[in-house]
């Protein structure tokens, strides 16, 4: 789609204005931040941005004043007496061509930037307090920060300590116009509600305006991402045969995901001390209590111990290098799969592992413990014997996603 640009995994909509429109608006480009979405969702957002771009061009050519420029020109009256080397009569509107205009405009823009930065710092403090109190997993932290930044950008509310109902209404209206699912929108509002709850407990805000606020999505187009499917045995063999296209670090992470059904986030927080010649432990930033688990090494992954001890020196060295190894690796995996003609994601390895375990006759309580699923409310989870390491060691070699 014209104008849709992807940089560092994030999408932008970027179009250059015609020269006559650029002269009227005072800017050269129309840029809309879309974010980290799937290709289909980004195209939906880009289509809406394209309509806005076309409407802006049409209004500018029809002589319709740009409301942003008009607001800026009105604000210039306030700063007409800023000392400059050019005398300015009091209560005089400074035209765009006046020699003092650049200095005044810079001051206005600097104040706008400072107000926005102050709001983001305030929200960052609230997020850090929530992290300190709840110690959530990484995905929850990212979601909190994303929705907090989005709230400031949409409502232009520069003082989150005094949020008014109109700001909440403006944000809800924005959410309802976006092609999100009901679940995603509700998660965003829930994240903001939780942030304000903990900010209120520290007296950083006067009240929690999100109590009782819901999201109505009945008349909004909803975009849903299909659940990624697993790999066939032939596709698993294709992936294993082409692991040389990845870095050794990423190749081992993908192999461990295929033969152990682990999440990338489970593996990401492993240290050298967690890897032994015949087993490894995952107990870092985990999704639930049952995600912390010890696993035997699959016969197809016995070289993992040698690799880790070759690449690291101390027990406190991380197994996977990089600031965010799980997210970075999954981006590489997606490109790798597309190059092989596969449409699923790295999480498909987890689906494949579970499906293979069921076909191999592995008891449900065993394969649930292997992949770190939370224990359910069935009779065995309540009264039966918990899955032991010996149970995992007995059944794991029978799970071969690469064999028909």
CATH of the domain at 308: 1.10.443.10
- In this structure, are 15 and 71 located in the same domain? yes
Domain identity same for 240 and 378: yes
Mean pLDDT of 180-204: 76
- Integer-rounded Cα Rg, in Å, for the chain is 27
**Under a CB-based contact definition with an 8 Å cutoff, are residues 126 and 195 in contact?**
yes
Could you report the per-residue pLDDT of 321-352, keeping only the tens digit for each?
Answer: 777 788 888 889 989 998 998 888 888 888 89
Helices H / strands E in the chain, number of each:
16, 5
Does residue 225 lie within any of the structural domains?
no
Cβ–Cβ < 8 Å for 221, 179: yes
Q: Both 103 and 187 in a single domain? A: no
- Which CATH number characterizes residue 120's domain? 1.10.150
| 358/248 same-domain check | yes
Number of domains present in the structure of the chain: 3
More confident residue, 69 or 82: 69
Domain containing residue 295: 233-398
pLDDT of residue 72: 45
To the question of pTM greater than 0.85 for the whole model, the response is no
Residue 374 makes CB contacts below 8 A (sequence gap 6+) with 288, 289, 290
Q: Are residues 283 and 377 in the same domain?
A: yes
Q: 399 pLDDT exceeds 90? A: yes
Average pLDDT over residues 206-217: 76
Q: Is 280 found in the same domain as 264? A: yes
Among 63, 78, 108, the domain-final residue is 108
pLDDT category at 39 given cuts 50, 70, 90 is confident
**Per-residue pLDDT for 37 more than 50?**
yes
Are 29 and 59 part of one and the same domain? yes
**What is the tens place of the pLDDT at every residue in 273-297?**
889 988 888 865 445 555 578 899 9
Residue with the larger pLDDT of the pair 122 and 33: 33
The pLDDT of residue 212 is 78
Residues 6+ apart with CB under 8 A from 20: 60, 61
């Amino acid at each position: 789609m014209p104008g849709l640009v992807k940089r560092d995994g994030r999408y932008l909509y970027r179009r250059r204005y015609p020269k006559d429109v650029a002269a009227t608006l005072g800017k050269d480009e129309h840029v809309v931040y879309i974010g980290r979405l799937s290709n289909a969702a980004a195209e939906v957002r880009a289509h809406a941005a394209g309509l806005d771009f076309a409407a802006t061009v049409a209004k500018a050519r029809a002589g319709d004043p740009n409301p942003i420029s008009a607001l800026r020109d009105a604000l210039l009256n306030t700063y007409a007496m800023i000392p400059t080397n050019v005398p300015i009569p009091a209560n005089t509107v400074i035209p765009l061509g006046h020699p003092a205009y650049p200095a005044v405009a810079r001051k206005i823009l600097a104040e706008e930037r400072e107000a926005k930065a102050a709001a983001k710092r305030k929200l960052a403090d609230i997020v850090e307090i929530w992290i300190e109190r709840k110690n959530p997993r990484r995905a929850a932290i990212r979601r909190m920060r994303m929705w907090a930044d989005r709230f400031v950008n949409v409502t232009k509310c520069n003082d989150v300590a005094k949020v008014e109902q109109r700001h909440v209404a403006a944000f809800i209206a924005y959410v309802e116009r976006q092609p999100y699912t009901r679940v995603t929108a509700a998660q965003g509002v829930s994240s903001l509600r939780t942030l304000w709850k903990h900010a209120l407990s520290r007296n950083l805000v006067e009240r929690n305006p999100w109590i009782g606020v819901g999201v109505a999505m009945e008349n909004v187009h909803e975009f849903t991402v299909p659940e990624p499917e697993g790999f066939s045995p032939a596709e698993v063999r294709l992936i294993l045969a082409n692991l040389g296209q990845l870095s050794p670090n990423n190749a081992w992470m993908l192999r461990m995901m295929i033969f152990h059904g682990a999440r990338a986030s489970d593996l990401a927080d492993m240290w050298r001390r967690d890897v032994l010649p015949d087993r490894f432990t995952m107990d870092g930033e985990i999704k639930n209590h049952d995600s912390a688990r010890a696993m035997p090494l699959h016969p197809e992954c016995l070289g993992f111990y040698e690799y880790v001890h070759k690449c690291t020196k101390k027990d406190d060295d991380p197994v996977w290098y990089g600031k965010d190894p799980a997210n970075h690796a999954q981006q590489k995996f997606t490109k790798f799969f597309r190059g092989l003609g596969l449409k699923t994601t790295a999480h498909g390895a987890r689906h494949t592992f579970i499906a293979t375990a069921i076909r191999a006759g592995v008891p449900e309580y065993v394969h649930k413990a292997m992949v770190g699923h939370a224990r359910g409310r069935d009779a065995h989870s309540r009264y039966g014997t918990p899955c032991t390491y010996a149970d995992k060691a007995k059944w794991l070699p029978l799970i071969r996603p690469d064999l028909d």
